[in-house]
Amino acid sequence: MVLASILNSDLLNLAKVADTVRESGADALHYDVMDGRFVDNISFGLPVLSSLRPYTKQPIDVHLMIAEPLRFIERFVKAGADLLSFHIESDSDPKETLRCIHACGIPAGIAVSPDTPVSAVYPYLSGMQKDDFILLMTVYPGLGGQKFMPEILPKIRALSAFLSKEQLPLHIEVDGGINAETGMQCRKAGADYLVAGSYVLGSPDPAAAVASLNTPIL
């Protein structure tokens, strides 16, 4: 699945951006939320999501890079999130945050920053449900346009092997510096959800960019 991140898009024309995401063939729109506390940046939040939701029929994958995600779960679901992820490094209890997202009836994701061992999520995987996912950040959270970190590839492989061993039907999402080359590396390592921002929405041909992310694995 390809998810187009709108973080570095033309924020003055989000309706047009949503049209481009749909026309590109991307499977979903990726929406990053930053609070200036968990990461040193502030992006859009609830009002923008509420405005965007009725405009597009595409799934919206909301990534919460905020200090207290549990406080806002219900509000983000009400605003239009179809998938919702939070960081294992946040101040909220992961089990309770997962429970709250599941109670809202949508897939939940646990995001992992580059410096956090992937094993940090293992104690919570048994409490996750079909269609839930682990989001491995392939850049440091907070800013778009960063260079892909190849040192995350072993973490993807380790998580993929663990999920297979434990027979857990969860997805692996990656976000940061994703293009045709790095996307293929991640898919070969075990990822099946690719978040791409600048590579898709900054391309003169977004549809071709999305198609390149869906190239069959040889």
Determine contact, residues 88/67, Cβ cutoff 8 Å: no
39 vs 142: CA distance, rounded Å: 5
| Total residue count of the chain as it appears in this document | 218
Given the residues 32, 61, 132, 205, the one annotated as active site: 32
130 vs 112: CA distance, rounded Å: 19
Q: Given CA atoms 144, 157, 135, 89 in this order, what sign does their dihedral have?
A: negative
Residue 132 appears among annotated catalytic residues: no
Given the residues 40, 132, 175, 205, the one annotated as active site: 175
127 vs 181: CA distance, rounded Å: 33
Residue 32 appears among annotated catalytic residues: yes
User: Which residues participate in catalysis according to the annotation?
Assistant: 32, 175
